[in-house]
Structure 1
Amino acid sequence: MKMAVTEGQRLCSISAVLAVLLGLLTISNGGTCDEQVPLILWTSEGISIPSQSPPAAGHIVGQQQLASYLEKALNVGPRNVVLFLQDKMSIEDFTIYGGAFGNKQDSVFPNLEGALMSSSSPLVLPAVSWPASNVVIGQLQDQLETSPLYMDPETLSQLRLNASSPALLVFRLPYGIGADLMSAKEILSGNDGVIGQVLSIMKTQSVPYTAIYTALQPSREAASLSLESDLGGGRSLLQTRGGYREKGRQREKQRRIEEEKTGIDSPVEFKEDENICILFWAKRLVVSILRNGQWNDHDLTPSTFGKGIKPELHGSSCDKTKSKLTLNYANVLGHSSFKLIFAMSQRHYQVSARRWFTLDAVELEYDGTKAIFNGSRNIYAPAEYSYRCESVTSFRWPLLVPRSSKDPANQWKVSFEDIQIQGFNVIGREFSYASDCAGFFSPGIWMGLMTSLLMVLVLAYGLHMIMQLHTMDRFDDPKGPAISVPQTE
């Protein structure tokens, strides 16, 4: 390969970013890299932005620092952002499959390396905390003040972008490994092919762009296939692929056994266009109605969760701003038709400068009648998160309140124990990072503070009384005359 003194050295150094730089930083981050994901940012060919200094080796980029990096890049760079969001990714994916040890012909990232070589100011963040990368869509959405568009290369080819108006184009890339080690390499190679196809389409449109490649979660455990523990040393690496498949089947069987032991049921999933857009789970669902001065309870949990249980979800819907989960039941407290409805919405709030989702209402629809509980004042979370609470009720420390004094909801009580719900930005089949309803000052903390304050007051009073004591300045001598103290003295 011909090496020039100036330009050739620059290109080769950029080409080595994914392999050598990430590999070296892996050594310093090796203890905790399973909690971090890399992030790579570059601009289209011919676009120059001021270079930003990467963090020092071993430093983990948090949410605020990542927002600062993105803000500096977008303030002076193109505001058409192409986000390649992979399900899982770790530094090991580059060191193992990126030709880090001189075998560049085996690299699965030729398109990504070519994009970095053509960019004048690429930025590589080897260690970004995965909670920060999990909200990168929200950060870009707030800075660009536009909603994300989930795309594929075929849709992008039909879209006409405008350089003057910002756009956030999100391309989801899978990451899932099978029973052998080669499947991860094939998936990463396919993802790199998608990146190359998208960048080629962007080039034909002659619209400058800023590209970002990152992931939602680390893939260290999946990418390594637990080489340290499962393969048991160097000799195991010489086993055939059948051995890997057998180990994979054993791990899957062990996982199912553990799930059965824990007794945790799968959440309710609602799909729109084959994509899961609503997730809901609760340990216990109970509704009660007041009849003849007594509350009659009905437990909906066995009809909602459990092995082989699939509740009817017709009437559910979801889009970018509103979501509705409708659980249909039969023969509930004497009603032949009964629906439990969760109505959610999300929007951008100027004060907090971010998007939030709220549980607007919980509705009970039975035999043509609706009982509506409002929850928007108390039940909310960032749009990228899920909402989780140990107890959501309408009667004891209520988070749900009837819509009005005349609403039929006044004759009902609802109780959700250990509830978790997400109606937006669902990725895969797992809940996003949970925003818990528990406040900082719990009853236990208040009791500790009040007890401490009482002890401090008692101590202060005791010190004050001790400081008021005075030593006598006159003493009575039993052998001499008695001391006479005049009243005028």
Structure 2
Amino acid sequence: MAALGGKPAFGLLFDIDGVIVRGKKVLPSALESFKRLVDSEGKFRVPTVFVTNAGNAMRHDKAKQLSSWLEIEIHEEQVVMAHSPLRMFQQYHNKRVLISGQGPIVEIAKNLGFEKIVTIEELRCTFPMLDAVDHKRRISVPCTFEQYFPRIEAVVLFGEPIRWETALQLIVDTLMTDGLPARPMPHLVYPHIPLLACNMDLQWMAEAWMPRFGHGAFLLCLENLYKKITGHNLIYTALIGKPSEITYHHAHHMVVAQAKNIGIDSCVKRLYAVGDNIYTDIFGANLYDRYLSRRNVQESKRIVNVERSIEELLGSDTSDWGYGAESCSSILVQTGVYSEGVQNGMLDHSPRDFLPVEEKLRAPNELHPTKEVPALATISADEFKDIVMQKLKKRPVVVVFAEESLSVEDFSWQDEAGEGAFPNLENVSSESDGLTYLPFVHAPLRAFHHHLPMQGQNWYNVKLGPSGLLSDVALNETLLFLNLDDATSDEDRPDLLKRHDAVISQVYRTLAERHSDVLAVYTAHHSSWQSGEETLTRRVRRLLATDLAAEDEKGYASNKTLLYAPNMTVIIGKDSYSLTSGTAEGDEDLTIRFPQDISVIFSFENEKSPGYWSLLGVSVAIQNNTYIFNDTKVGAPLQFSYHCSQEVIFTDGDNKLNISSDFQIQPYIEERRFGSAYDCVYFFTVPIWSGLFVCGVFSLIMIFGLVMIMDIKTMDRFDDPKGKTITINTSE
């Protein structure tokens, strides 16, 4: 995927509804993912195009909407609407066309190049007697100008209309009468006038928990009505939008154009299409992938129906379409229409003209379940530790290979012969029990060095011999670290990776011959897109149930409550108790038992203020005596934690419970990690007191100065040279 010099040699095609948003609600994973695609100035580092089957908006309006949702600048040239490829159908631009849909469809049609436009509403007003479903809108008097109405030469369907019954009736009338709905026809005209349809989505995902009907449902009604009435199949001159290959071809062209705009001169070798619908997004991407494969090997065999093939629509000579892409991979997400376990494999929601569908064409190249981290999202060091801990249950030998820098493009780079930089690694992964690929992990080496040494064992830094083989001492170690920092100035990046690939393969095979279970990790000190000096400006502490007792004595967790308290001290009268090394238990109420025969119970409620939880009180049991602290004032919205960077003190008369700074607590948890922090902020903090003191000092100085100015006495008599001399005696 990556060209030499670190420039990406791939492009991304994103669906919008169900992938980025659901209705008007932006999916949190989308914001996180797209931050990885732009640089510090907000410009895309990878050519990215948004391909949607929506047809009710102009491209520039959709680009503005995406910019608002994703908080990055999206240009009109990055948006492909369902109707965008109609710009290439110039043979219909000077014909009188009937258009259907909602939104600014007249403006859309004119923008695409259509000159003579008739809307469903204009047709209904011209032929009022044709619309008879709604009794309140029935008009029995014909229009005077019916006979002068020019013939409709084509029908263009942009999207689902608002009043389906009116649109279905008038479109069927227009098709059956050869574009002259006012004149009775002596016989049915078939084939009918050209029909171009955009957006074939049977369903799409909005805010509702179930998918909603899309334009594909309207087309299904139109097809069946026309078949039932005429006995003939409805003929589409062109089906535009996903899963049509022509839409992906148009998007491919825009990816290449955008790559040049962002300074990528190399050829875009691969496309990755991300969608939530296997019948449009995944099916369409796989169809285009097969088209690319066929074109690249110059096959002459037609694979798709003639009516919708690219060659049939735009001509068979496609030799000048040399955009250079070799494949189009499909990636299915479960944030929209598709949901594993809900889809019925016996049903086929693909458009009629695409049936029958080979099962493999509906299978994504990658499937990302809802609970998994999005492919472009950052995985924290603690989350990565959780993943690794699952693999360490069998106590394998661990060997870590660390490059100075690494990125996604390094794994997908290919030379002209199609060979990647890791041929040996590909063979090793196919022979191993399993391979886990994580595109971006924050500080993975920190997770290894800080958390993985077990039972007093330390990391053994491996030094390779002249032949690249490990020494006998290294073969007996269980935590091995190999730093791949031997790059030379005259060595290209692919050559460096290939050399390291050979070393990794050799070391892994050597260890696998000696040990029955080996965990090999290939990572880097930092990403190729991130300099080594860059650091994360915001850190979030996460507590995991599996390692609280063993690794973090300051954290406590029950079944539904988490607490982080660096130091707790109980003061009862003149006696003071320091609470450490406690064990937690309980459900919603958190009980911590300490070795001094002391128990601390945190009690919560979430009914007084809907949507919020609060700490009812803290009770401390010392031997047979119980002390209750009710004046807590601790609470936060549900799914949020309460955090305080200052010391927290619960009091009851002379008794106190002191918790040092960095206190954090959260009840009613679903996962065993803190939610976003709802931080305590005292109004009169030290900085505020300092500011008030300084302002007071300056105020006193100003008041003193004003008083001194007001006390100045000026002269009230002046000497006049023409008058009598003023004499002032000492008494005055």
Give the alignment's TM-score, normalised by structure 1. 0.46
By percentage of residues, which structure has more strand? 1
Q: Which has the larger radius of gyration?
A: 2
Which structure has more RCO (C-alpha within 8 Å, separation ≥ 6)? Answer: 1
Give the alignment's TM-score, normalised by structure 2. 0.32
